[in-house]
Amino acid sequence: MAAAGAEARGAWCVPCLVSLDTLQELCRKEKLTCKSIGITKRNLNNYEVEYLCDYKVVKDMEYYLVKWKGWPDSTNTWEPLQNLKCPLLLQQFSNDKHNYLSQVNKGKAITPKDNNKTLKPAIAEYIVKKAKQRIALQRWQDELNRRKNHKGMIFVENTVDLEGPPSDFYYINEYKPAPGISLVNEATFGCSCTDCFFEKCCPAEAGVLLAYNKNQQIKIPPGTPIYECNSRCQCGPDCPNRIVQKGTQYSLCIFRTSNGRGWGVKTLVKIKRMSFVMEYVGEVITSEEAERRGQLYDNKGITYLFDLDYESDEFTVDAARYGNVSHFVNHSCDPNLQVFNVFIDNLDTRLPRIALFSTRTIYAGEELTFDYQMKGYGDLSSDSVDHSPAKKRVRTVCKCGAVTCRGYLN
């Protein structure tokens, strides 16, 4: 089974959200109202500080160049510090200035002198870029949380560089079949248990053990499929055999890594060992199409293909354009997540759902990773790994930094 991940990302942005600002600015410039984009007679002439662009001192008076929210750059004005009631924006301005100077001085921490009358153009340009990036990332974060269908919140953070949100990535909550591929998402039968933990339930009907213990932790070995109760079962939503289908319960953060691996994902809360963390979703394509796309991805030095080879190798999940938080999870040769095949409403063994469970306790702030080759867990044979489309192409250098690093992702 070939996996896909977040290393070597491209530039990202959310084009559908950019035009709103432009429209608001045009409306205010032309003195027009438009309720659909939030410009009314009441707020047409409102002025709110969006971010600070520059700094100068004139006759011992400190001034900041203000970008007004919803107004074009041509309306930016210099305002005295005493008139600004935006302590957070002032602090961000100061932090961005300090970070830029630290980077210029090769990362050495320095204390900027406060007696400069003006900022150098390069500093002001960097501060504006950081402000725009911060706004773009916040909007992307809001968009992700609107689209998700699970309990856990999604946060976005970049304290490393000027990279913004994705330009060609669309958040989805479940598999998206490519044209010509049909996903049957309705089970033909279900259990009639009153207590699925003790009675003969869906796993027993499939010839396997119940996957979870009373603490909702997985208890079966890797390589064993998970059969959860489905939409035809008479048990309710609190059934102990409904774990993956409830979605991610933990708040996670998509963050920019500092070691050249692009974006990654970290948990903001403690995750107990053997707990469900997230699903891996994307576009379901044929293996033939995966081979074609794989050649293109290799040329870009990225990998997003995950072969659904539980019993056959007909289909592959491609998370390059469509996916969820798992799209950003990086590889590690010493991972803290493990892959399991899951069957719920769709019992077609060619199309298992892919779930990621913790292999150990994962603490708040720790990056989440899984092994793109899934070696060392006994869930895949070497044959299945070697026959994966991704394994026939250019080798990609691994940057996981683990003591047990194999050197390559494939």
Active-site residue list: 280, 372
Contact 309, 16 (CB under 8 A): no
Distance of alpha carbon 160 from alpha carbon 103, whole angstroms? 10
- 196 marked ligand binding residue: yes
Distance of alpha carbon 148 from alpha carbon 173, whole angstroms? 6
Distance of alpha carbon 332 from alpha carbon 52, whole angstroms? 40
- 260 marked ligand binding residue: no
Rg for the chain, CA atoms, rounded: 25
- 139 marked ligand binding residue: no
Distance of alpha carbon 304 from alpha carbon 319, whole angstroms? 5
- 46 marked ligand binding residue: no
- 13 marked ligand binding residue: no
What is the residue whose two structure tokens read 């039968």?
Answer: 189
- 400 marked ligand binding residue: yes
Residue type, 260: G
Contact 154, 120 (CB under 8 A): no
Nearest CA among 235, 191, 243 for reference residue 214: 243
- 331 marked ligand binding residue: yes
- 261 marked ligand binding residue: yes
- 53 marked ligand binding residue: no
- 253 marked ligand binding residue: no
- 333 marked ligand binding residue: yes
- 330 marked ligand binding residue: yes
- 263 marked ligand binding residue: yes
Nearest CA among 345, 189, 218 for reference residue 277: 218
Q: Which residues are annotated as a binding site for S-adenosyl-L-methionine?
A: 261-263, 330-331, 372, 399
Q: Which residues are annotated as a binding site?
A: 191, 193, 196, 201-202, 229, 233, 235, 239, 261-263, 330-331, 333, 372, 398-400, 405
Q: Which residues are annotated as a binding site for Zn(2+)?
A: 191, 193, 196, 201-202, 229, 233, 235, 239, 333, 398, 400, 405
